[in-house]
A and B are shown apart, each in its own frame.
Chain A
């Protein structure tokens, strides 16, 4: 099989699993036997789809010895070509492996996790759940391999739909439907820009094939407008300020879904799409400036919001917002390989953290850290996995996150000090300083999470003593701990970093020069700076915890705590400015439509009716008046005839 066949099959396999799963009969409510069978079949199909995709992704990674592309015309719309095709390079293959690994872990983990629920109301909707996870995976893989902007948009939006369906899955949470709707709508608002950006590029190039779009010589205005519009879509999907508001609420979804959305799909898609179209972004400093500002704001906003959350999943959600900020920051300073490297390590450690948090929630029955504590001894496996995950998140050497975050900071430092990024040097400074502050804040909240959950004394007595999760939950967590710990070492010069840096040449004779020549890891003396900040952040949290006698160090935030906890109240701003305004306009539009537009029509009808009635009354007359009217009419006609004859004669 050729490489491109692997690429085309990659989304097809989970798609098939997903569609098959959707056709499975939903297991009948209360019928215990039928339900078990339906679950088993659904789980098997889901796991088989993810495993098949993983096998294909690995095969693709192994066989791919250079960029490859193949496409065929999908449809011609008045001279604009839309193609069906794949565009493969090392980055695509690596991201595909990350996506499928996390998807497989999630599929396996879900079979154990979603057994949860009170016995009087077991979850009978496992088959559609597993199918939607498969569809979600397929959509992300489509984004990863797609060689056409319209095809990419298909995966992009189907992913939004799947996130909507999966976030709304848990029917015991009253806030889940609202969170699901918010996730779809906020990303859809961003997609208004994404669609327009794609339209601009496609119309300008006469084709939506990525290769054609990248080789075409667009005007500067078109390019700037298109890149800025595309960034709106990227901000929506990758939860960047100001469209980040959906991500924390999306925690209403089941924990494995959070892992899927945060680690490998959805939020990664935006960053990945920018690396995919990097040559046009590189040529547009304006867009990169916007991206850099957006990244810095998001990075700090997410990190600060994470410090004051009590819900363990929300801490992780805000940390995702912040970490994606590092990736977009790396893009803004001109280093897609650094962004992709951080994307991959983040996929590993964030999936690990979510699945480990799921194990904790499974054991304790709550998501609130204020009701946890002291789980270190009772759940040692989960504890050590969380330590690895949090260490990677905070950037403790030699865990993966240290190396990739160091790569981002080094790129920003280069752009700041030497001004050799595609964007102005001040963007480099902005990203670098925000990134450094972010390191300290991240260390602080990671330490707080660890201390609050696993150390100290248990805060609430539990009916059953907490324990490490059963094997079906434990193994995915353990498996993810390996890359979370070690993936960073792959960033040393070698095969892995070559894969991330070898993208398709822009054109037949243009050699892409966007890439730094050497490894993803730069060990310079400045590495001591983030390390020092890391120690300061973690130390402050630890001191606060000790001084409070095992109390939550969040008290140190003082009056800022409620502000951070509500993420600077941006949700309220969005609600007031967008939601309430739109609703008010909608109501006004409905009233105007019914009263004015339809009122004019019914009013005309009524007026005509009334006029007819009145004329009818006039015609209903007694004999003398009728006779007089007839005679008068005859006289009038006679006179008119006479006048006419007189005039013509």
Chain B
């Protein structure tokens, strides 16, 4: 086993073993520390995946079908041959930024849980579940076997359900309990519905091609046109539920609103990215002809998501729900980028993915901090935050401004270049979509400024007046990396796109063929 293979396995094994260790540690605080250490080790392993990469693989190589995906490291072991299931992992420039983002956000969530455990359950179980969720997400990003991809995709579901129902909501009264049960159930059932489609799609592909190897399948050379159309429809629907794409988004606001802070951060920060990643890697890669066929529909729905998501936010009256809905709009930009099927668009989608993870993660942390302090999320009961808690207010303003896509911060690149990619695609349809998406950008600014005006300006409301200006050390430690990353990715987009350029070119090369 060489270094690359060792790293790949350890990225999954460390959190998995960490979860077991956490569950086995008897004392609550010690268990949470063990979990945080495991998450930190995972981050180290994930980040070092880039170091040992074979330079030859990351540069341009002659175009051939098998070369469309050129992983930096991979490991390929048989597991259940009858199901075409192989333990095939790999990492390349498309997945690596997401892997690191996942490891980072999990670490921040575990660290945050050292300081504060939401009411409802014990912290030990929460940290163990967070680590299990991390295994599922990382596995999804690393799997190079379709069946394995499906397995990891499913691993995430139940622990996340448990996190929402066990630690979520506000209050312990029956109504709150019922609300979070309902939200959890909706999340689980809705995404399970998507998973069924994914399973069917996976086996349509596997049965037709006789292999589940994503590396071999990318380019769609093995599949007939009809199979590709069917496979893409199924896969795209499955990923559209997860991303989520309007109108399949309605599980998201409830789940994000009811989940505890750490749950919301993981949900918005990385869970949604499984959908967009799957769309780029699996659906577009395996069925490019289907992608070309469905691209206009995808583009129209993506722009509908941008506009409707922003409009709903503009009329929203609850803090966390507003941020949850903003994800619908932001992921709309990501999906628009994917739908253009151009190198510009897919690169915009990748950086949009990462930026959304950073910024919305931060927004949920801040919203959680405000709700924990004031015990309310109603915008009508929050005002004047800058008078009593200037730092919290300043951070909220920063996150909101980053989220509205201010040039120079991370959110800008994904949104602006999704629009540029649509302009680049040309033609009446895509030009219209570009114009509408750009208008959506203005609406995004409108609802985030409305949020800031309600929450930070004016006279302090009774709930806010009682706040002190102090922030806990743990909060600063959890938020600082996200603030710095939002700035760093904004100023140096190469951090994300430098590694992605070659694989995206290769992917677009086979898709455009």
Contacts and interface: CB of A to CB of B under 8 A. Distances in A.
Nearest to A189: B442
B207 interface: no
Given A168-B457, A196-B423, A78 B390 contact: no
B439 interface: yes
Nearest to A139: B408
A78 B345 contact: yes
B314 interface: yes
Given A586-B314, A590-B311, A601-B186, A203 B420 contact: yes
Contacts of B413: 75, 77
Interface in A204-246: none
A582 B387 CA distance: 30
A427 B387 CA distance: 51
A181 interface: yes
Contacts of A28: 469
Nearest to B424: A203
A479 interface: no
A462 interface: no
The bracket for how many chain A residues form the interface is 35 or more
B420 A199 contact: yes
B442 A161 contact: no
Given A78-B421, A158-B408, A582-B446, A196 B438 contact: yes
Nearest to B415: A195
Interface residues of B, number: 62
A569 to B, nearest CB: 23
Interface string B180-191: 000000100110
A188 B442 contact: yes
Nearest to B417: A77
B58 to A, nearest CB: 15
Contact of A184 (B249, B348, B445, B501): B445
A533 interface: no
B206 interface: no
Contacts of A585: 311
B192 to A, nearest CB: 12
Interface string B379-407: 00000001100110010010001000011
Given A203-B423, A589-B308, A178 B407 contact: no
Given A188-B442, A188-B445, A77 B344 contact: yes
Interface in A532-572: none
A273 B413 CA distance: 22
B49 interface: no
Interface string B437-481: 011011101100110010001100000000001000000000000
B442 A185 contact: yes
A202 interface: yes
Nearest to A184: B449
Contacts of A77: 343-344, 347-348, 413, 417, 420, 497
Nearest to A76: B501
A281 B424 CA distance: 22
Interface residue SS majority, chain A: helix
A385 interface: no
A105 interface: no
B438 A589 contact: no
Contact of B342 (A22, A78, A150, A199): A78
Contacts of A184: 445, 449
B387 A171 contact: yes
Interface in B339-392: 342-348, 386-387, 390-391
A320 to B, nearest CB: 23
A460 to B, nearest CB: 29
A580 B266 CA distance: 36
B242 to A, nearest CB: 15
Interface string B242-254: 0000110111000
A78 B504 contact: yes
B343 A196 contact: no
Interface in A422-455: none
A195 B419 contact: yes
A26 interface: yes
Contact of A586 (B315, B391, B401, B457): B315
A150 B347 CA distance: 17
A481 to B, nearest CB: 36
A157 B406 contact: yes
Interface in A68-84: 74-80
B380 to A, nearest CB: 15
Contacts of A589: 308, 311-312, 315
A154 interface: yes
B172 interface: no
B211 interface: no
A609 to B, nearest CB: 11
B438 A195 contact: yes
Nearest to B457: A177
A583 interface: yes
Interface string A566-596: 0000000000000000110111011001000
A192 B438 contact: yes
B315 A601 contact: no
B310 to A, nearest CB: 8
A643 B471 CA distance: 78
Contacts of B446: 185, 188, 582
B455 to A, nearest CB: 11
Contacts of B442: 185, 188-189, 191-192
B390 A125 contact: yes
B493 interface: yes
Contacts of B394: 22, 128
A200 interface: yes
A153 interface: yes
A138 to B, nearest CB: 11
A77 to B, nearest CB: 5
B453 A178 contact: yes
B247 to A, nearest CB: 5
A154 B407 CA distance: 5
B434 interface: yes
A78 B408 contact: no
A196 B419 contact: yes
B48 interface: no
Contacts of A185: 442, 445-446, 449
B314 A583 contact: yes
A18 to B, nearest CB: 12
A598 interface: yes
A199 B407 contact: no
Contacts of A637: none
B394 to A, nearest CB: 7
B450 A181 contact: yes
Nearest to B421: A78
Contacts of A189: 442
B208 interface: no
B449 A181 contact: yes
Contact of A593 (B312, B416, B419, B443): B312
B508 interface: yes
Contact of A80 (B186, B189, B420, B494): B420
Nearest to A164: B449
Given A78-B508, A590-B311, A200 B346 contact: no
Contact of A597 (B186, B250, B386): B250
A184 B446 CA distance: 9
A605 interface: yes
B57 to A, nearest CB: 19
A11 to B, nearest CB: 11
A492 to B, nearest CB: 40
15 contacts: A28-B469, A154-B407, A178-B453, A188-B441, A188-B442, A196-B434, A199-B419, A199-B434, A202-B420, A586-B311, A589-B312, A589-B315, A590-B316, A598-B250, A601-B250
Q: Top 4 nearest A-B pairs by Cβ distance? A: A78-B343, A78-B344, A177-B457, A586-B314
Interface of A: 22, 26, 28-29, 74-80, 125, 128, 150, 153-154, 156-158, 161, 164-165, 168, 171, 174, 176-178, 181, 184-185, 188-189, 191-192, 195-196, 199-200, 202-203, 582-583, 585-587, 589-590, 593, 597-598, 601-602, 605
